[in-house]
Chains A and B, each alone.
Chain A
Amino acid sequence: MATTKTRPTATPLDDIQTPPEPTQQQLAAAQISVGTTATTASALDTPTMSPPGTASAVTAAAAGWLTNKHVLMTWQTSGPLDNWAFVDGGTGWKHLTQSGDVAIRGMALLAAGARTGGGLVHLNEGAAGAIDAMYLW
């Protein structure tokens, strides 16, 4: 059977029809951010939020955090550090962390799980617009 290498057609989702690919502007911004992200790794190394529905769960967006979102689509290319997540609520495409191969692979696992399972995510957006930390509930 012949195989095709075209990108799968997006499935219509709740609040979008077909997620747009990252814009050139977004791509350029992401390229600039590689290796220059100002995020302090130590500040994000340990999770501090509690599960939704618990007494100490986050109830308001903390600085830098997008809370109670969903990943509607993921996108990746053969380029380095080129994994993206399309986030609902008008957020749009977000680059996953640009800090290195190992970190982005771990975060991509969570993004894929979020897309497959439809769970809530909280996302920390770094200075360059990439996701520097992710909770999946």
Chain B
Amino acid sequence: MANDSKAVDLEEVRTELARAGHPWNSGDTSMSVLNEAERRMRLGVKLPSAAEVTALVASSASLAQAARAPSAAGLNAGAATSFDARNVGGSDYTTPVKDQGNCGSCVSFGTVATMETTAAFTRGQPAFDPDLSEAHLFYVHGASDGATCDTGWLPSHAYTYCKNVGVTFEDYFPYTPRNTGGATLNADWPNRLARMVSYQTLTNNPAAIKQHIATHGAVSACFVVYQDFFSYHTGIYRHLTGAVAGGHCVSLVGYDDVGGYWIAKNSWSTGWGDHGYVCIAYGECGIETWEVHGVDAVSLRMWTGQTQVVGLYHANTPRSGWAFINGRGWLKVNTATDSSHEMMLADLVGARVGNRPVNVFENNGSIDISQVY
């Protein structure tokens, strides 16, 4: 998971930053105060061979130069010049920054953070704020795939589990580093589940990465971590000094073509970086060329309790009723039979007209059960 390397030297970092014109600022962070072994434990993506690391970093730098060039031959076609899921028309579609602690579970955190943002963004529901279980993904799915806190994992494997099985919510399996909290998976997890409908591999394609972020809110990405990264505080990160420390996975929730950087949500707590976030320059550390994946849609199977029917819709085809549920967006009224559809629709119309609270159980975009108070 990590190569031998000397610990971060803050003085050396500051010297190199001054020489480079201060593209970013360093300082004490939640990572820089740890010892070397503890820092490396937070890097949970298995590095390929040294030669392959060199190749993917060089390839990334080459792609970034092409993307920045005015005659980029359509590399940026279709995507806006900037995007930030934390502020889309004043709405924040990201979830709070978390702390993976002393465990190489960054793949789980980067993948889950991407699912959470996409689930909220594609529904147009910033208030949804889903809190999915990194513990389920890492300690159950990852473990069945051979991953441990000491070995780390790979996003391509994590995505397969998220699509084929899904992950439950944090309250059904709370995360603690190395599961020292002793939590176990709630047996009812199949009824409280988020699952990737499909996903895309976007590696080596900056234009597609931007397009996916702008239309789905986020992607996950791996990159090579060098020693100077641990002391990042603010600014646009470029590797300046220090040896390779390991591989890491984050969720990219934005980009800026003018500044030439990706906006990454890390899982080292809000005490690291810029409140837990980092701006990584295009072409740095293999960020575009190692493993980049984006989720197309997240289906949910869950109860939403004590909520409101905000609106209703019906078209000119049979069983075409929909309900807009507060915090959840448009959900299709169950389509099992004509009569079940009409009875549920009638009840939801009554809830809307009477402004009554409702509980709804949704399953892959449809309301299977509704309760009106």
B353 touches A106 (CB 8 A): no
How far is B310's CA from A119's CA once the two chains are assembled, in angstroms? 11
| Chain B neighbourhood of A105, CB < 8 A | 338, 342
Question: In the complex, which residues of chain A have a beta carbon less than 8 angstroms from the beta carbon of B342?
Answer: 102, 105-106, 109
- What DSSP secondary structure best describes chain A's contact surface? mixed
C-alpha spacing A46/B320, complex, angstroms: 8
Does A1 interact with chain B (Cβ within 8 Å)?
A: no
Q: How far is the CA of A102 from the CA of B321 in the complex (A)?
A: 11
Given contacts A113-B312, A136-B352, contact A41 B91 (CB under 8 A): no
Residues of B in contact, count (CB < 8 Å): 29
In the complex, A84 Cα to B265 Cα: how many Å?
Answer: 53
Greatest chain A CB density within 10 A among B310, B316, B322 is at B316
Total A residues in contact with B, Cβ cutoff 8 Å:
35
8 A Cβ contacts from B66-104 to A? 89-91
Interface assignment of B53: CB less than 8 Å from any CB of chain A: no
The interface residues of chain B, by DSSP majority, are classed as: mixed
Q: Which residue of B lies closest to A97 (CB)?
A: B316
Cβ–Cβ contact A106 & B341, under 8 A: yes
User: A103 in the interface, Cβ–Cβ < 8 Å?
Assistant: yes
| Interface pairs (18), CB distance under 8 Å | A44-B316, A45-B317, A46-B322, A47-B313, A55-B89, A56-B89, A97-B316, A100-B318, A102-B318, A107-B314, A109-B342, A110-B313, A110-B345, A113-B312, A126-B316, A133-B314, A133-B315, A136-B312
Give me 9 other A-B pairs in contact (C-beta within 8 A), A102-B319, A106-B345 excluded: A50-B124, A51-B324, A55-B90, A103-B320, A106-B319, A109-B321, A116-B353, A132-B316, A137-B311
Residue numbers of A with Cβ under 8 A of B are 37, 39, 41, 44-47, 50-51, 55-56, 97-100, 102-103, 105-107, 109-110, 112-113, 116-117, 119, 124, 126, 132-137
